[in-house]
A and B are shown apart, each in its own frame.
Chain A
């Protein structure tokens, strides 16, 4: 992807009431790519989007769009359009007029507007909805109108602020695919904001993982998943066992009292490191054959596989396997060298413990109030 940068954010600082929201953020966005800003609530992803849209001016820093500095340019003069979290469709206008809004402002001739709106409605599969009032549409339909309205102005960059958060799971999955297809068909740069890591991984060309107003890692979904830069990224993206390790030498790491071969090098001798092992990369064997051993403390059947928690010297590992086990069983673990990923120690080291409080975590993730709070926080 040797495309040119369409958007360059340079060293952006924003604070609200003395609280740092963006802390020296720099990011290059390439033309026609699908890039996702991913992070927990309050990480600054929506703020970044609002700065690009022009709803917010940074305290410090520059935003270059096609080489031109956007700082100080009001939102209505920018060639970017936004799909808002709650769609922000005009309740006093019908579907047709909502989509035509931008073209009306530009004073396009009426025949052209009519043709455009018809084309856009068929693009989003809403033929015949012209005269419908916004309040009579379902969430998914409103979403489609919002998309049509935003791309009617033919923006070079489309900003999407958690546009799927309000939809139910099935619809969300469909819309993910549709948005992705639409992005490829239209050839517009999509900047997508979400706190849903799965959504980010499935849709994006590149993912930007953010926390505390800083970018933690930028990369393709595969890079982000397989080579997380620090414990935060490893924990936020997918399930992971983050254990303390010591790098004995290149390609050899000590974990839980056993030396494992790995594929990483370039660390100091005996350097303390964080080691990420994904639950699906661990094999369970009878305890005598294992490299390390432990006791099964809980097991859950999830359909495709079992999710087993194994206590190894007090640290609870999560293992996803198709082999059944029973609570109380002694089992051995085998970890292949390519399943081990070594990270430098960071400010996040030690923050993400083991899976001893795993059930709590599930409660938290599925608590709708908390999700609503997250949205409100943004």
Chain B
């Protein structure tokens, strides 16, 4: 027993070391910077400055929420219909979903610029038809589109995985007991796929809320998010590290609270009756 514990500790040690070095230590630095002045004295003024970035915070959360809801609305039916297809078709679609993930994130976002720009593909096409040009780039819509496009695989994958594991006989049992297709969806498929939905929401919302690149490239100057503010401050030199750290810390705590709430939902979902 002891021997086994020792063995598993040895096996785990590289990961523990990794986590300590690259996760815990940086977090301590962030916390330290957040509560100190550039001279190293304790202060709360960095935290107080967050009030200035209220709008960016608010926009980040709002855009991320909208993007998450849209990805969910697209992904859920898609995952559902995928499970109804032949296995070969399912694999095919899986590859198509994953394919963009093989490309660099920056290139994917950049390509949207050339599609949405004032002289981009869409507007060129529209002008041939005598419409436009429409203002597509540098709008909140473009930012949300970018978020949806970049993160949708992270929603489809967990939902599809959970859904494809639902035992067919459960769905047969539901129809056997008199449930039509709507009731089967409501009473069996949705509750059983709920864990997939929760992890999908988490995996889309968290990167959305902290993203900066998408908003810079597709949102112009007006739609800056909290991620942009943090990036801007860190790039402005060591004097601004403290405020930037304070913002990061607050964002992190916000995300942790979100995760906690999500987890609470999944747990209670399993324990109570729908």
Interface range for B: 20 to 34
The reply to whether B270 and A75 contact each other, CB–CB distance below 8 Å, is no
A76 within 8 A of B: yes
Residue A91 at the chain B interface, CB threshold 8 Å = yes
Complexed CA–CA distance, A149 and B187 (Å): 15
Q: Which residues of A contact B96 (CB under 8 A)?
A: none
Give every chain B residue within 8 A of A54 (Cβ-Cβ): 175-176
A-B contact count (CB 8 A): 70
* A84 and B172 contacting across the interface, CB-CB below 8 Å: yes
B259-274 at interface with A (beta carbon < 8 Å):
269-270, 273-274
Q: Which of B167, B176, B191 contacts A76 (CB 8 A)?
A: B176
B155-185 vs A, CB cutoff 8 Å, 1 = contact: the mask equals 0000000000001011011111111100100
B188 CB within 8 Å of chain A: yes
Q: Is the CB of A292 closer than 8 A to any CB of chain B?
A: no
**Of the residues A75, A93, A106, contact of B172 by C-beta under 8 Å:** A75
Q: Does B192 contact A (CB under 8 A)?
A: yes
> Is A128 engaged at the interface, CB distance under 8 Å to the other chain?
no
Determine how close the nearest CB of chain A comes to the CB of B84; give it in whole angstroms: 15
- Distance between A245 CB and nearest chain B CB, rounded to angstroms: 47
Q: How many residues of A contact B (CB 8 A)?
A: 30
- Give the residues in chain B near A55, CB-CB below 8 Å: 172, 175-176
Compute how far the CA of A82 lies from the CA of B169 in the bound complex, rounded to whole angstroms.
Answer: 11
In the complex, whether A351 has a CB less than 8 A from a CB of chain B is: no
Contact with B183, one of A81, A105, A150 (Cβ below 8 angstroms) = A105
Q: Is the CB of B178 within 8 A of A153?
A: yes
* Any B CB within 8 A of the CB of A248: no
Residues from chain B with Cβ under 8 Å of A76 in the complex: 175-180
Q: Confirm or deny: A86 has a beta carbon within 8 angstroms of a beta carbon on chain B.
A: yes
Q: Does A97 contact B (CB under 8 A)?
A: yes
| Per-residue contact bits, chain A 141-183, to B (CB 8 Å; 1 contact, 0 not) | 0000000011001000000000000000000000000000000
> Shortest beta-carbon distance, A160 to chain B, in Å?
12
| Bound Cα distance from A307 to B175, whole angstroms | 49
Residue of A nearest to B194 (CB): A92
Specify the chain B residue showing the minimal Cβ separation from A53.
B176
- Chain A residues contacting B179 (CB-CB under 8 Å) are 76, 101, 105
Q: Which residues of A contact B188 (CB under 8 A)?
A: 90
Extra inter-chain contacts (13) besides given A82-B176, A88-B173, A90-B173, CB under 8 Å: A54-B176, A55-B172, A74-B175, A75-B176, A76-B175, A76-B178, A84-B172, A88-B170, A91-B170, A101-B174, A105-B178, A105-B187, A153-B178
Write 15 A-B pairs (CB below 8 A) sorted by A numbering: A54-B176, A55-B172, A55-B175, A76-B177, A80-B176, A84-B172, A88-B170, A90-B170, A92-B192, A93-B273, A97-B273, A101-B179, A102-B177, A105-B178, A105-B183
A residues whose Cβ falls under 8 Å from a Cβ of B: 53-55, 74-77, 80-82, 84-86, 88-94, 96-97, 101-102, 104-106, 149-150, 153
